[in-house]
Structures are given as structure tokens and as C-alpha cells.
């Protein structure tokens, strides 16, 4: 018998290095994190001659605790080292929570260069003498061998140095794997300048923005000791960027949002506040606070967030506007370091751009109900969703630490979190804060928007056409105007480029982009709605044919039923044949009754008479029509349906189809809830103000009245079973019912049931 032995192919370095990390900036961030874990207070990243791969090099220099020879061998040279898993998982000097956990971050250097040089001076106050270490790793030499056992050893030199020398580590990356073009350097600088959150988001808000703290003075960036002075990253050489305009962004902000989900507290707190410039323009604008239950108050994740909202243009120079468009977005930071790709251009992790293109309240699908719940009574502003802004109008940061958000797991390529329930919770909570600010901004500007709408209506020529046609015509004019403006701006940008005015051209293209977004979003909405109207028209046409076919099938079933009945009367047939015919007749009877019920329901709902005009309808007769739909399942489950509605009580003027659908929805829910041997009762009475109260009760499972409003939200359903007749509950019946009733000023809600019943729904029809 022979024994096998594990071996590691040197190809592993390319897999873990070049292919593990998605982009160059991510690779460099991993090396910066290593310096942070080594208690560095300053990290300098310097790029020299990056346009020449052979002569160029990158230097990462820090003033941390450095490494001794043993630490270098057991930590740096040991792949997936466990050193960071030992003890409290914190640094030696400032007790920082380690940002890395797998021991493979150093292999990110493989992606950037073929040669890695290390020079490190360790910090150890107990050592009588100080020794620096020097080492060189040539990845090509290692990968020339097949296995790690065959690879040449890494030579580590120690050299005595004066105790006065400052500690720290310098990593130099040589023989770059590719040439860095100006465009690539610009992209890298844009990513690298946000390694850490800008001070306007991480320090107290400037007094020019807010008079005082909203939820917190400064967010908690990292888990470390109180003696930790922090860490700064500086970019130099070819990585040095131009001016930064964060203060200009702060001055341009019109609203500020702060969110705090704190460990040990069961609620998430929100503050949405106007900036000083907004208060000057809208004196009635005021700070609002909101609170809701944390989705998982025991495990989190917990975090802080600060977001600045800019409603109009930056208002500064062309260079400032170009920079602002690059730096905008809501970024995510873990232990004070950026988590890519959240917040960069093209990344829509909060669906802000998607909702902006829809520009309708229906687009706020992620948090729409929560916004209504937290905001309170709904003001008369049906188009508040039109004030949704795209990503470029937000400048913000979400601050996470490992201790506060242990359930968030970073992806293997270091770019983004695993999209599980924990991360979705963060997404939803952050988006809720933005939607609350959207609602508040809309409320402040409501009167202004209404005034503009009236002015447009007065200036628009009156026509005798339908209002929807006028609306489409108006949208068409807006699209033509936006498209023409975008075309003009693009032409102007071409002229400026020819004159070598790149900044001016970039500004024109940015303005044109906004018009193109508007054209694209509106066009998509029109196409989508037009397509849906065509589909609904087709369905309506087909339904008419289906009703006709159903009535024909009913006639056929009745004819076959009569034929079988006559055959059974033939005394010449054998007894066993008559027995089979009896079963066939019973089945045909069930089929005939089912077809009759469905045909009657469809006639009530989809025929022209059902939608031709609104009339006052007998509540008792419409309830009876709705009850026909569930008659068979009620019989099978032995459910008693009592119609105790007085025959003289009528609805307000309504379409028969609507009232039949309302009762069908409510009876379907009641039948599901009542169960085997249950009971459903409908009663009605006229109340003091002339309104009519109609109550439908069942003796099934009780509804908690304190939480009963949730069942009027789409896709909230207590039904989990698949019912072949009633169908599986999608949670749409009650929302549709309420929507129909509200059009007539009617109200629907759960109320306390009468004796012998568990659940009751009341509809109050106006006089």
C-alpha cells in the first residue's frame, strides 16, 4: 500500500491573486487594510511611471507596528494564516478589529505586479535592539515551478538599525502587469479617493448645513480603542487626484438624512431635516423624526448612515459639477473602508435610478407601505413619487463595523456582500430613509407644484378631447422638448471638444444625460402602459368570447344531462348499467351547476351591461351573485352562508361588475378562513348619518385588530394552502377591494365580530 500526500500547484497564486480580486482598486484596498490592521495611522500610496510596466512601480508605505522575521514567515508567507484568528481578533497597539479574516489579502499584490518587495521595521518596546527585515517575492519564479514544494525559498534578510528609526512597513510592487492609461488612472483615482468616507460625512455636520446634531454627532467608523488616533490614506504621484469639492457638495445640499440602528435598541431611528438654505426658501420646512421596529433586533445588522440630498444643480464651477457627478452616490463602509461597488456610477443597489426612470409612486415598491405608515395621514398629493431623484443627487455613506454587523458576509472577490436576508435588511432600511425624505420634500413643495400645474392648465389651449388624450399630448410635447434640448447640448459638446474645452464639453454632456434619462424613462413608461392597455383590451375581447363559450358549454351540459336522464328511465337496461348512468348524471349535474355559477358571475362582471353605467344596486342581490361563485366549495366544506342583508338597502351608484367583484373577493377569503363546517353571515343596517354599514363575519381564525391593516397591503395573505377552486391567496383581494370602494367614498376595515364569530369585515357605504 502506498500513501498519498497533499501537494499545492503554484497555479494557486494566480487563482487567489489575479483572479480572486475583481479590480485593481480592490487589490490595493486589501494592501491598505493590511496596513490598517498593523496599527498604521498614516498610509501613503504612491504611483510612479505607471504608463511604463517595466519601469513603473507602486509603493504602499505605512507607519504601523511592522513585522519581525518570524511574523513575516508565519503571517505574511503562510497562505490563509490563522494569526488574525488568534486571541481577540484585534491589533496589538490600538485594539482595532481586524478587517481581514482569511489571510489571503496580501495575494492581491499578485494582481498588480510580478514582483513584491517588503521592507519592515517592527515595533517592540521590550527588544533591546531593533532589526529591520527585507524580502523579495518574484511570482514568475514561483509559478515557473509546478508545486509549492519545488518553488525556491523566500530569502528574508535581517539588518540592525538604530532604535530611533520609525516603525512601519513599505511594500513595493514592481514589474507591473499592465500599462496604466490616463483613463484607467482616472478611474482608479475616482475609486481610491473614497477608500475612506469624506469628512463631510464622517465628522459633525457643518453649521451651514444643520444647526446641530440630528441623530449623532459623528458616526462610528471602526471598532477600536479610545486611544486610537485613526488612520489616513494619502494618494501621491500618478495616483494624486485633483481638487475635491466635498464642502461645495455640503453647501449645495437641501436635505440631510440620518439613520441609526443601534445594538441593544429594538427600533431603527430616522431623522430627515431641511438644510439652512432650504429653510430660507421654505420657512415651513421642518425636521421630522421617525421610528420603526428593527427587522431583527437581536442579530441586526446594526449601522449608522448619513445622506445629503441635492435637489438642483451643484451651482458651482464646471469642474465642480463634473467632480460631483463622479463622486455622487451612497457608499458603504466596513470598518471605515469602502466596500465596492456600492455607490459607484452604474451601481443601483438601492434602485434609485430604476425608480427615477419610472417617475411614479408605483415605483416605490420596496418601502411604499412603510412610508405611508411612518409618515402618518396621507396628504392630498397623488404624485409625490414624481419627486424621486436619481443616484447622482445623493451623497451619503453607510457605516458598518464587524461587531455591529456580524451577519453581513463579504463576497470572495471582496466586492459586495452576500445578497442574503441581512444585506436585504440594510437595503430596505436605507431606502426607507430616502423615501421618507422624498415624501417630506414633496409635502414641502406641494403648494408650489399645484400652482405650477394650474398655470400650465390655464396656459394650455382648451380642446374637447378626452383628458387622457390631452395628457398624452402634453407628455409628447415634453418629450420633444427634452429630446431637442439634449440634441442641442450634444452638438455644443462636440464644438467644445473641437476647441479642446473638455470641462465645458463634460458639463454639456452631463446636462444632456439628464434630458436623455427623462426621455428614456417617460418613453419606457408610455411603452409599458401602452402595451398593458393592449393586453387588457385583448383580454377583455377574449373574455367576451369566453363568456359566450361558457354559456354554450352550459347548454351542451344541460342537453347531455337530459339525454342521460332519459336513458336511465329505460327499463330494458341492466341494473349495473343504470347504476353507472346514475353516477354519470350526478357528475353532469355538478358540471352544469358549476358552469351556471361561473357563467352568471362572468355575466355580472364582464358583459357591457355590467360596465355601461353606474346605478344604485341591491346589496342583498349583489351579495347573492357573489355567493354563487363559492357555492360549491361551501357545500363541500359544509359551510353555511347566511344572507341577512335587508332587501331595501342599496349601494351608492356603482358598476354592477365592481360590487359583484367586491363580494366575491370577501366571500372567497371568508370561505378559506371558515374551514370545514364553518359559518358566514352578512348583515347590513342604515346608521345615523344615512350611511349603510355592511358586515361580513365568519367563525374561522381570529384577526388581530391591531395588525389588521397589514392585510390590506398587496401580497399579505394568511393563506398557504393551494385550493383548486378558490386558488392560493396572493394577498391582492383586499387591496383591490379597498381600492374599488375608495373610489366611491366607501371604507372597509376589520372590526370586532359579533358573538359566535371570529372575524368581521365592515364596509361603510356613503349616503
| Averaged pLDDT for residues 746-763 | 91
pLDDT tens per residue, range 375-401: 664 444 555 556 788 888 999 999 999
Per-residue confidence (pLDDT) for residue 258, from 0 to 100:
96
pLDDT reading at 531 higher than 50: no
CATH code for residues 11-180: 3.30.565
Look at residue 668 in the predicted model and tell me its pLDDT: 85
Greatest Cα pair distance, the chain, in angstroms, is: 123
| Strand-strand pairing, 394-400 and 329-334 | parallel
pTM above 0.85, yes or no: no
* Per-residue confidence band for 470, with pLDDT thresholds at 50, 70 and 90: very low
All 3 cell numbers of residue 695? 358586515
308, 411 Cβ separation under 8 angstroms? no
- Domain 11-180 identical in fold to domain 607-765: yes
Task: Give residue 81's pLDDT band: very low, low, confident or very high (50, 70, 90).
Answer: low
What pLDDT is attached to residue 571? 72
CA distances from 503 to 179, 194, 282, 494 (A): 26, 22, 34, 12
Residue 453's pLDDT band, with cuts at 50, 70 and 90, is: low
Of the candidates 200, 431, 441, 450, the one whose C-alpha atom is nearest the C-alpha of residue 311 is 441
Alpha helices in 165-307 (DSSP H): 182-192, 199-202, 246-252, 276-281
pLDDT of amino acid 586: 76
pLDDT tens digit sequence for 549-569: 565 666 677 777 777 777 777
Of 699, 689, 701, which is closest to residue 745 (Cα–Cα)? 689
Mean pLDDT of 488-494: 72
pLDDT tens figures, 145-177: 888 888 888 889 998 888 778 899 999 999 998
Q: How far apart are CA 183 and CA 380, in angstroms?
A: 49
Going by C-alpha positions, the residue among 36, 48, 55 that lies closest to residue 93 is 36
Distance (Å, rounded) from C-alpha 629 to C-alpha 625? 7
Helix (H, G, I), strand (E, B) or coil at 764: strand
pLDDT reported for residue 188: 73
User: What are 747's strand-pairing partners?
Assistant: 764
- Of 95-104, 192-201, 380-389, 756-765, minimum mean pLDDT range: 380-389
d(CA 439, CA 435): 6
Task: Please give the mean pLDDT across all residues of the chain.
Answer: 77
Residue 742, pLDDT above cutoff 60? yes
Which pLDDT belongs to residue 430?
A: 95
Residue ranges per structural domain of the chain? 11-180, 200-222+244-452, 607-765
pLDDT at 533: 45
Q: Which CATH number fits domain 607-765: 3.40.47.10, 3.10.200.10, 3.30.565.10, 1.10.760.10?
A: 3.30.565.10
The 10s digit of each residue's pLDDT in 609-667 is: 444 467 888 999 889 888 887 887 888 888 999 999 999 998 888 877 778 878 888 88
pLDDT greater than 80 at residue 693: yes
List pLDDT tens digits, range 190-231: 776 777 888 889 989 888 788 778 999 999 988 777 788 888
- Alpha-carbon separation of residue 438 from 310, 363, 390, 392, 444 (angstroms): 12, 13, 11, 15, 10
Which 3-state string (H, E, C) describes 580-637? HHHHHHHHHHHHHHHHHHHHHHHHHHHCHHHHHCCECCEHHHHHHHHHHHCHHHHHHC
Structure confidence at residue 604 as a pLDDT band (50, 70, 90): low
Q: What is the pLDDT of residue 694?
A: 94
Q: Is the pLDDT at 541 greater than 50, yes or no?
A: no
Residue 439: is its pLDDT beyond 60? yes
Lowest mean pLDDT among 8-17, 246-255, 326-335, 356-365: 356-365
Instruction: Encode 398-430 in three state secondary structure.
Output: EEECCCCCCCCCECCCCCCECCCHHHHHHHHHH
Any idea which of 39-43, 343-347, 587-591, 741-745 has the lowest mean pLDDT?
587-591
Q: Quick one: pLDDT at residue 757?
A: 92
SS3 of residue 677 by DSSP: coil
For helices 575-606 and 619-629, give the axis angle rounded to 10 degrees.
130
pLDDT-derived band at 524 (thresholds 50, 70, 90) equals low
Contact predicate 505/496, CB 8 Å: yes
- pLDDT at residue 710 is higher than 70: yes
pLDDT score at 724? 35
So what's the pLDDT on residue 611?
45
- pLDDT score at 728: 40
Summarize pLDDT for 396-422 with one digit per residue, the tens: 999 999 889 989 988 766 678 988 899
Length of the chain: 767
Query: Is the Cβ–Cβ distance between 307 and 330 less than 8 Å?
Result: yes
Report the Cα–Cα distance between both ends of the chain, in Å, rounded.
95
CA dihedral 458, 463, 469, 470 (to 10 degrees): -10
Amino acid at each position: 500500500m502506498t500513501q498519498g500526500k497533499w501537494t499545492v500547484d503554484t497555479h494557486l497564486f494566480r487563482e487567489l491573486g489575479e483572479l480572486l480580486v475583481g479590480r485593481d482598486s480592490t487589490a490595493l484596498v486589501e494592501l491598505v487594510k493590511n496596513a490598517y490592521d498593523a496599527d498604521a495611522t498614516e498610509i501613503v500610496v504612491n504611483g510612479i511611471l505607471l504608463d511604463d510596466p517595466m519601469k513603473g512601480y507602486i509603493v504602499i508605505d505605512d507607519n504601523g507596528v511592522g513585522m519581525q522575521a518570524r511574523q513575516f514567515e508565519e503571517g505574511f508567507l503562510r497562505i490563509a494564516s490563522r494569526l488574525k484568528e488568534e486571541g481577540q481578533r484585534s491589533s496589538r497597539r490600538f485594539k482595532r478589529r481586524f478587517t481581514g479574516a482569511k489571510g489571503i489579502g496580501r495575494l492581491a499584490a499578485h494582481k498588480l505586479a510580478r514582483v513584491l518587495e517588503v521592507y519592515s521595521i517592527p515595533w517592540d518596546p521590550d527588544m533591546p535592539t531593533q532589526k529591520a527585515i527585507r524580502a523579495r517575492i518574484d511570482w514568475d519564479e514561483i509559478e515557473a515551478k509546478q508545486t509549492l514544494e519545488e518553488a525556491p525559498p523566500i530569502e528574508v534578510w535581517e539588518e540592525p538599525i538604530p532604535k530611533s528609526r520609525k516603525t512601519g512597513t513599505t511594500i513595493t510592487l514592481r514589474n507591473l502587469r499592465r500599462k496604466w492609461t490616463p483613463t484607467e488612472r482616472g478611474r482608479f483615482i475616482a475609486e481610491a479617493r473614497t477608500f475612506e468616507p469624506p469628512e463631510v460625512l464622517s465628522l459633525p455636520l457643518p453649521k451651514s448645513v444643520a444647526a446641530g446634531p440630528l441623530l449623532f454627532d459623528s458616526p462610528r467608523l471602526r471598532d477600536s480603542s479610545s486611544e486610537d488616533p485613526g488612520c489616513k490614506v494619502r494618494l501621491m504621484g500618478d495616483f494624486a487626484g485633483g481638487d475635491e469639492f466635498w464642502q461645495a457638495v455640503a453647501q449645495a445640499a437641501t436635505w440631510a438624512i440620518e439613520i441609526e440602528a443601534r445594538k441593544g435598541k429594538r427600533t431603527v431611528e430616522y431623522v430627515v431635516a431641511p438644510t439652512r438654505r432650504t429653510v430660507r426658501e421654505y420657512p415651513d420646512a421642518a425636521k421630522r423624526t421617525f421610528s420603526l421596529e428593527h427587522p431583527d433586533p437581536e442579530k441586526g445588522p446594526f449601522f449608522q448612515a448619513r445622506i445629503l440630498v441635492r435637489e438642483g444643480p451643484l451651482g458651482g464651477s464646471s469642474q465642480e459639477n463634473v467632480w460631483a457627478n463622479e463622486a455622487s452616490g451612497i457608499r458603504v463602509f466596513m470598518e471605515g473602508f469602502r466596500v465596492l461597488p456600492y455607490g459607484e456610477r452604474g451601481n443601483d443597489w438601492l434602485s434609485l435610478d430604476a425608480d427615477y426612470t419610472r417617475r411614479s409612486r408605483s415605483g416605490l415598491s420596496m418601502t411604499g407601505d412603510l412610508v405611508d405608515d411612518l409618515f402618518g395621514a396621507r396628504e392630498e398629493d397623488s404624485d409625490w413619487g414624481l419627486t424621486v431623484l436619481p443616484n447622482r443627487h445623493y451623497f451619503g455613506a453607510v457605516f458598518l463595523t464587524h461587531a455591529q454587523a456580524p451577519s453581513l458576509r463579504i463576497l470572495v472577490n471582496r466586492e459586495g456582500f452576500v445578497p442574503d436576508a441581512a444585506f436585504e435588511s440594510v437595503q430596505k432600511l436605507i431606502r426607507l430613509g430616502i423615501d421618507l425624505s422624498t415624501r417630506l420634500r414633496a409635502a414641502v413643495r406641494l403648494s408650489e407644484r399645484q400652482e405650477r400645474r394650474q398655470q400650465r392648465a390655464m396656459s394650455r389651449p382648451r380642446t374637447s378631447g378626452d383628458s387622457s388624450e390631452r395628457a398624452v399630448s402634453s407628455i409628447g410635447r415634453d418629450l420633444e422638448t427634452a429630446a431637442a434640448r439634449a440634441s442641442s447640448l450634444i452638438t455644443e459638446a462636440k464644438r467644445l471638444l473641437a476647441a479642446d474645452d473638455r470641462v465645458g464639453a463634460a458639463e454639456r454632456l452631463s446636462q444632456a444625460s439628464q434630458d436623455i434619462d427623462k426621455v428614456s424613462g417617460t418613453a419606457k413608461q408610455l411603452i409599458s402602459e401602452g402595451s398593458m392597455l393592449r393586453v387588457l383590451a385583448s383580454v377583455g375581447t377574449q373574455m367576451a368570447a369566453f363568456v359566450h363559450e361558457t354559456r354554450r358549454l352550459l347548454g351542451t351540459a344541460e342537453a347531455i344531462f337530459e339525454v342521460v336522464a332519459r336513458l336511465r328511465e329505460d327499463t330494458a337496461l341492466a341494473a349495473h348499467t343504470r347504476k353507472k348512468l346514475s353516477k354519470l348524471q350526478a357528475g353532469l349535474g355538478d358540471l352544469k351547476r358549476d358552469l351556471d355559477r361561473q357563467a352568471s358571475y362572468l355575466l355580472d362582471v364582464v358583459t357591457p351591461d355590467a360596465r355601461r353605467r353606474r346605478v344604485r344596486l341591491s346589496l342583498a342581490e349583489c351579495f347573492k351573485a357573489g355567493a354563487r361563485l363559492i357555492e360549491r366549495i361551501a357545500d363541500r366544506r359544509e359551510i353555511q352562508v347566511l344572507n341577512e342583508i335587508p332587501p331595501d338597502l342599496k349601494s351608492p351608484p356603482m358598476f354592477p361588475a365592481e360590487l359583484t367583484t367586491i363580494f366575491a373577493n370577501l366571500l372567497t377569503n371568508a370561505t378559506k378562513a371558515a374551514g370545514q363546517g364553518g359559518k358566514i353571515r352578512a348583515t347590513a343596517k342604515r346608521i345615523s348619518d344615512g350611511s349603510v354599514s355592511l358586515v361580513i363575519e365568519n367563525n374561522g381564525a381570529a384577526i388581530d385588530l391591531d395588525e389588521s391593516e397589514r392585510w390590506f397591503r398587496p401580497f399579505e395573505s394568511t393563506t398557504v394552502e393551494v385550493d383548486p377552486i378558490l386558488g392560493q391567496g396572493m394577498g391582492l383581494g383586499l387591496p383591490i377591494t379597498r381600492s374599488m370602494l375608495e373610489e366611491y367614498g366607501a371604507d372597509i376595515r376589520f372590526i370586532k365580530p359579533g358573538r359566535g364569530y371570529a372575524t368581521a369585515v365592515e364596509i361603510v357605504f356613503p349616503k
